Structure 1
Amino acid sequence: MSIDDLWYLTTRGPDKKRLPSKRHGRGKRWRVRYADAAGKSREKLFERKTDAEAFDARVRAGVAEEMKVQQSERNVTLREYGERWRLSREAGWALETRKRVESNLRCHLYPAFGDRPLRTIHLTSVLEWLTRRLDEGTPRTSLKLYFELLDAVLSAAVTDKMIADNPCDGVKLAQMLRGFSRAPKWVPTEGEVLALLDAVPPRYRAAIWLGAGQGCRLGEALGMEDGSRCVDQERAELHIAQQLRYAPQQYGGFYLSEPKAGSSGTVDLDPVVGKVLAEHVRDFPPVAVELVDITAGDPVCRSVPLLFTTTRGNPLTDRTWSREWADWRDAAGWPKEHGTFHALRHFFATTLITNHAEPQEVQRMLRHKTLRITLETYVHWWPKRERRRGLVGTVLQAAATRTSPT
């Protein structure tokens, strides 16, 4: 937006005086150029500069009539606009991104803001939502993803002239999250893990060992296949190379993808877990399932001898597993809120720590991207050694005694 004086040129003469234009003295002198609510370039002429400046100010504030959207667009909800935003962009997204964005919108943003018109979502609304989710124990990394998605949708709404500004711009998310710990809310004891193993049917007991004895996530455990690609018994190595995913509209439903970003890798295979897996393969021979594998990038269909399937030989969906898990959890006396499969991973990590494993070794076994994530998550479990008082002074005094002439 700018204000132009149509009676004079922008260049000046040799005497530094302004040069009159061809329109000098004819018609309205002042022109305001702006983009309307639809994003089209417009201009409006005024006799007086003060009127032009006042109009320009109203345009910048979004209160000029020319900047107001139609009444139907004023009442567009986040759900309506969010779906338009998603569908118009997902052609350029990978399958994992499409699934994650759709799920996060549906499960996390729409329940909070879906039925509200875009123009009614303010900074305070966003801050209240963030605070509530933190109080409910939403993991910081997950909440950061949800917030960034909300920010992206509302930024697009600003560009489309649906709203004047993005309320997320005023949120200092890093400062909000800094005061909340990554620490797990609940970690099972050895006895509670054994109780769970007793409650789980033999067909799926080895999956529990992968969680508690190797720190595998659920998708990684359910994606394990027989053979050296995942379980190398000769070298005593476990290769975390894939996870089982389920998307009904893609690849016929089930497919294999890379593990959580940055967490692929090879770790030591615990001898006890290796024995349990060998017995599992003997008692429950792996079922070959035709799956699409996208771990290498391009989709490849191959026969995968999955270690864990239903009694009918089908892969396990999240919903099927969750239904069975609820019964096993209750039978073992685990808490409903935090007694998830991921709690087994916390048990694995804290057991390593309390048995004096080095921080770098714990990071490697958990396949965390950085050591900082490991330390921040399990800060309360690291053994605290009592520091001797006056240590440095004592060392220097002893050194001085050794070097002083006798």
Structure 2
Amino acid sequence: MPVDDLWYLAKPGPNGERVKSSKHGRGKRWRCRYEDALGNPRARLFARKADAEDFDIQARARLAPETQVEQPARNVGFREYATRWRLSREAGWALETRRRVESNLRNHLFPAFGNSAMRAITLTVVLEWLARQLADGKPKSSIKLYFELLDAILAAGVTDKVIPDNPCSGVRLSKVLSGVSRTPKWVPTEDQVLRLFDAAPERYHGALWLGGGQGLRLAEALGVEEGERCFDFEEEQLHVVQQLRYSPQTYDGFYLSQPKSGSSGTVDLDAVVAEQIKTHMKEFPPTPIELVDTTTGEPVRRTVSLLFTTRHGNPINDKIWSREWAKWRTAAGWPEDHGTFHALRHFFATMLIAQHVEPQEVQRALRHKTLSITLETYVHWWPKRSSRRGIIGAALTAAEARRAAHR
């Protein structure tokens, strides 16, 4: 939707000078091209360039009246549109296809989307629905059929200009269906986490708080340093920008790198975790260590005040941590196979889910690249929607009891 100057040609003259057009000095000078609510190309003329640019911004954001869908079209419901979609196409379907589509709509799509406006069905809504299907134990082949039907209906909605885009286009169904294999095999309870604290030395409690209270991975927790680079206590923020890596052949062994791809970011710092970290730094002052920092792409050697080191003030590598962790895990009664530091991250995630934190907020806290990763990984922990069975009867029974009490 560019803004054009109608008084001058777009192509310069032989010496690079601007060439006047046949419309120079006549009529409004500036033209903004845009698409209306139905996707048709349109143009509007303006006397001032600033006005044309303002309209261009409004048109791109679909805020200009000319680009907005009329209210009746905006509020088209999924049940209404899907029914019209089915009836308009079933003449060319075999009898079995007609029965199957009608049944899948009635039993699987209408209960989930029937009361929603077409424009209210977003990518997040679709992913949440898929997560519930998996959590309910629906066969993957059946989920695939339901999803393909939903995709076809929403794609037709785009063609009919009922919705601007199809949210199903952003779903990689194979990844969602395979996500069950990535779900945690074991997640500790609150009591089991507390038993781990009892078993671990106090000098490492801060790392456990970062794992169980902030969802940090082990290398991220071991890589945190004193100062504003990682902690902003005043704003209650934690900057996860680095992790501690160990490779005997690289940078003399220890070095800092960016966290797992796509997981750098700033997250809310829990008040209790913040106090625990402050207490840790008082009782176990950070140790200045010279390390190579590769987080910016170019290796830079600098002094890093690590919060967690060995008793001798050295960085902690995987071998040292694993040896100590095995002792704490056994003392706490954690399973050998799945009782890793990463189980603290799973504890953090499932606690947020149990408290009905919005999926997008859980994704942000875990620093997952996409929402689908969050939903796929913790599909079995996501609260299932309450069944509608018995709700009306219970409500009317309670109302009748209230009436009887006032008689």
Q: Indicate the residue corresponding to 1:308 in structure 2.
A: 308
1:252 is aligned to 2:222: no
Unaligned runs of 5+ in 2: 1-173, 392-407
Give yes or no for contact 1:181–1:376 (8 Å, CA) kept in 2.
no
Q: Label 1:276 to 1:175 Cα distance change in 2 as closer, same or farther (>3 A).
A: closer
How far residue 374 of structure 1 moved from its aligned partner, in angstroms, is 0.4
Q: Indicate the residue corresponding to 1:323 in structure 2.
A: 323
1:271 is aligned to 2:271: yes
How far residue 385 of structure 1 moved from its aligned partner, in angstroms, is 1.9
How far residue 187 of structure 1 moved from its aligned partner, in angstroms, is 0.1
Q: Indicate the residue corresponding to 2:401 in structure 1.
A: none
How far residue 344 of structure 1 moved from its aligned partner, in angstroms, is 0.2
Give yes or no for contact 2:180–2:377 (8 Å, CA) kept in 1.
no
1:217 is aligned to 2:249: no
* Greater Rg over alpha carbons, structure: 1
Amino acid of the structure 1 residue aligned with 2:360:
Q
Q: Label 1:266 to 1:389 Cα distance change in 2 as closer, same or farther (>3 A).
A: same
SS of alignment partner, residue 345 of structure 1: helix
Counterparts of 2:260 and 2:238, CA distance in 1: 16
Counterparts of 1:265 and 1:311, CA distance in 2: 30
How far residue 264 of structure 1 moved from its aligned partner, in angstroms, is 0.1
Q: RMSD value over aligned CA atoms?
A: 1.9
Counterparts of 1:299 and 1:215, CA distance in 2: 27
Counterparts of 1:270 and 1:264, CA distance in 2: 18
Amino acid of the structure 1 residue aligned with 2:270:
D
| Equivalence map 1:302-381=2 (5 Å) | 302-381=302-381
Counterparts of 1:236 and 1:370, CA distance in 2: 24
Q: Label 1:368 to 1:175 Cα distance change in 2 as closer, same or farther (>3 A).
A: closer
Counterparts of 2:211 and 2:179, CA distance in 1: 29
Unaligned runs of 5+ in 1: 1-173, 392-406
Counterparts of 2:338 and 2:186, CA distance in 1: 6
1:385 is aligned to 2:385: yes
Counterparts of 2:271 and 2:260, CA distance in 1: 25
How far residue 284 of structure 1 moved from its aligned partner, in angstroms, is 0.3
Amino acid of the structure 2 residue aligned with 1:182:
R
Q: Indicate the residue corresponding to 1:200 in structure 2.
A: 200
| Equivalence map 1:6-405=2 (5 Å) | 178=178, 180-388=180-388
How far residue 329 of structure 1 moved from its aligned partner, in angstroms, is 0.2
Counterparts of 1:179 and 1:278, CA distance in 2: 38
Give yes or no for contact 2:236–2:268 (8 Å, CA) kept in 1.
yes
How far residue 250 of structure 1 moved from its aligned partner, in angstroms, is 1.1
SS of alignment partner, residue 343 of structure 1: helix
SS of alignment partner, residue 315 of structure 1: coil
How far residue 183 of structure 1 moved from its aligned partner, in angstroms, is 1.1
Amino acid of the structure 1 residue aligned with 2:314:
N
- Measured against aligned partners, the alpha-carbon deviations of 1:219-259 in whole angstroms (never above 9, x if no partner) come to 00000000110011111100000000001111111000000
Give yes or no for contact 2:179–2:376 (8 Å, CA) kept in 1.
no
How far residue 175 of structure 1 moved from its aligned partner, in angstroms, is 9.1
How far residue 388 of structure 1 moved from its aligned partner, in angstroms, is 2.7
Under a length normalisation based on structure 1, what TM-score does the superposition of the two structures give? Answer: 0.52
SS of alignment partner, residue 309 of structure 1: coil
Counterparts of 2:296 and 2:359, CA distance in 1: 31
Amino acid of the structure 2 residue aligned with 1:300:
V
Counterparts of 1:332 and 1:194, CA distance in 2: 9
Give yes or no for contact 1:230–1:241 (8 Å, CA) kept in 2.
yes
Counterparts of 1:175 and 1:288, CA distance in 2: 43
Give yes or no for contact 1:224–1:230 (8 Å, CA) kept in 2.
yes
Under a length normalisation based on structure 2, what TM-score does the superposition of the two structures give? Answer: 0.52
Counterparts of 2:208 and 2:179, CA distance in 1: 33
Amino acid of the structure 1 residue aligned with 2:312:
R
Q: Which has the higher contact order (CA 8 A, sep 6+)?
A: 2
SS of alignment partner, residue 335 of structure 2: coil
Give yes or no for contact 2:180–2:379 (8 Å, CA) kept in 1.
no
SS of alignment partner, residue 220 of structure 2: helix
How far residue 178 of structure 1 moved from its aligned partner, in angstroms, is 2.8
SS of alignment partner, residue 181 of structure 2: coil
SS of alignment partner, residue 266 of structure 2: strand
How far residue 181 of structure 1 moved from its aligned partner, in angstroms, is 2.6
Counterparts of 2:202 and 2:380, CA distance in 1: 34
Q: Label 1:369 to 1:316 Cα distance change in 2 as closer, same or farther (>3 A).
A: same
Q: Indicate the residue corresponding to 1:167 in structure 2.
A: none
Amino acid of the structure 2 residue aligned with 1:297:
G
Give yes or no for contact 2:255–2:294 (8 Å, CA) kept in 1.
yes
Give yes or no for contact 2:236–2:269 (8 Å, CA) kept in 1.
yes
How far residue 309 of structure 1 moved from its aligned partner, in angstroms, is 0.4
Amino acid of the structure 2 residue aligned with 1:351:
M
Give yes or no for contact 2:220–2:243 (8 Å, CA) kept in 1.
yes
How far residue 323 of structure 1 moved from its aligned partner, in angstroms, is 0.3
Aligned-pair identity (%): 67
Counterparts of 1:288 and 1:361, CA distance in 2: 34
Counterparts of 2:176 and 2:374, CA distance in 1: 20
